Structure 1
Amino acid sequence: MEAAGTAFSWATALLIFVVAGNGGLLLPMIAVVVAIALLGMPVTSFR
């Protein structure tokens, strides 16, 4: 189930990447993608 959640997070990030990319919002797009990626990963992986 954890893998499915992570896959969903990345799918959402990709969707935002495409939509924001078409809108020309490069920096906000990167910030949102990074935020989603961090939320989709266990915090313990950074220790």
Structure 2
Amino acid sequence: MAEGGQVAVQADDEGGAASRMRELEDRVRDLERLLGRKTLAVEMLKEALAVA
């Protein structure tokens, strides 16, 4: 009986870890997208400054 409980707890931990991993991957993707936008904005501002 105790072994079954340990297996159930371990399976729950693995599910939680997978969920947390997806959350972190989503966060990284969002941050990479934001970094790309900010980089593009900086490049456009540099070009505008060079023209001015």
The alignment's TM-score, normalised by the length of structure 1, stands at: 0.50
